[in-house]
Structure 1
Amino acid sequence: MAFPTVNGSNLLRQKLSLPQDFQGRFNLIFVAFQQWQQREVDSWMALASELEEFFDGLAIYELPTIQNKNFFYKTLINEGMRAGIPNPKSREHTITLYLDKADFRSALEMNDEAHIYVLVIDQKGNEYFRTRGALNAGNEAVLRQTLEQLFQ
């Protein structure tokens, strides 16, 4: 499965084309579809930070994925997120995708929006790991094992 080419802007207002603009050799991606899913993303953040420090070449990204809307709606959402995320690195690595969510989910074989998706991909969009929902011991173990194999 390959991550499709999509365009978005991070919270520093930089336009990016993904997956090629991901900075890591491998990238741990959190795809969220609903605002309440930030709790699921947050459940991963301590582990994600630990892994990013341990594995040189791993980058962490949050991709709030929102149905394409008009300019004013996008501005309101983006500025609201910017206000809530003061850390410059977090702003750089939070990339909002405004697109046809059904098409995006279909391209990635994501059946629904009930939970976040967590992926490890490279800059070409090749996928190496996938799970959904909040962090638990099982998906943590598989993620660690995957990263250890990738970074050997």
Structure 2
Amino acid sequence: MLQRIRLLLFPVLCLTLLPGAVATSQGDASRPVIFPTLSVETLARTKLNLPSEFAGKVNLLLIYFEPEQARAADTWMPAAEALQHMNFNFRYYKMPVSGPENLIFRWWDSSSLRSVETDPETWPWVVPLYVNKQDFRRALNIPNEKDVVALLVNRSGQVLWRSSGPLSEEKKAALSNAVTTATR
């Protein structure tokens, strides 16, 4: 008898709950993607509250999840540096992403990154993120951790443009156009 009641109630529950779930997922697709609010520390040991304390009117975020992806992120650097020299409203950040580790790991990881980024002038622009990676990816609509992700965001954290993988000529032109459009 109980099983029969469950079988009868299941379709009713589905019909009741499904429209709300569909409406929610459709509503999410129309909302802009926003960089999550985070308190972080740069390699220069400067504390930042992101996204409000991004230095540029528009900011290129080079996000990567594995140390091996740093090379792909570095392919973006000549274009990012050139844009920064030509447009004072533009800044770039390299953001290696790790899980929410303890303080000892964070100290060790940041020290290791400083030994790789040997020019202290670059340290303010390298921002290690220690976050729940799945939640972070979900917030930014990053489907996986396989490639470096390039996001152009404004000071509100709204994603204005995105790409992934190493830089190509097509991506370089698209980034330049997006920066020009966003800084007008």
The TM-score, its normalising length taken from structure 2, stands at: 0.79
Task: Identify unmatched segments of 5+ residues in structure 1.
Answer: none
Contact 2:59 2:92 in 1 (8 A): yes
Matches within 5 A, 1:82-93: 82-93=114-125
**How far 1:7 moved relative to its partner?**
2.0
Amino acid at match of 2:150: V
Amino acid at match of 1:128: L
State the distance in 2 between where 1:150 and 1:15 align.
26
Matches within 5 A, 1:50-89: 50-89=82-121
Contact 2:75 2:167 in 1 (8 A): yes
Contact 1:7 1:97 in 2 (8 A): no
Percent identity for Structure 1 against Structure 2? 28
Greater share of residues in strand: 1
Tell me what 2:158 maps to. Answer: 126
Contact 1:28 1:59 in 2 (8 A): yes
**Partner of residue 179 from structure 2, selected from 133, 147, 151:** 147
Amino acid at match of 1:23: A
Contact 1:32 1:117 in 2 (8 A): yes
Greater Cα radius of gyration, structure 1 or 2? 2
Tell me what 2:24 maps to. Answer: none
Tell me what 2:70 maps to. Answer: 38
Pick 1 or 2: higher relative contact order, CA cutoff 8 A, min separation 6: 1
Tell me what 1:101 maps to. Answer: 133
Task: Identify unmatched segments of 5+ residues in structure 2.
Answer: 1-32
The number of residues matched between the two structures is 152
State the distance in 2 between where 1:120 and 1:44 align.
12
Contact 1:27 1:61 in 2 (8 A): yes
State the distance in 1 between where 2:179 and 2:102 align.
39
What's the Cα RMSD here?
1.0
SS in 2 for 1:56: coil
Amino acid at match of 1:127: V
Greater share of residues in helix: 2
The TM-score, its normalising length taken from structure 1, stands at: 0.95
Q: Provide, for residues 69-112 of structure 1, a one-character-per-residue CA deviation record: whole Å limited to 9, x for no partner.
A: 11111111111111222323310110111010000000111000
State the distance in 2 between where 1:150 and 1:69 align.
35
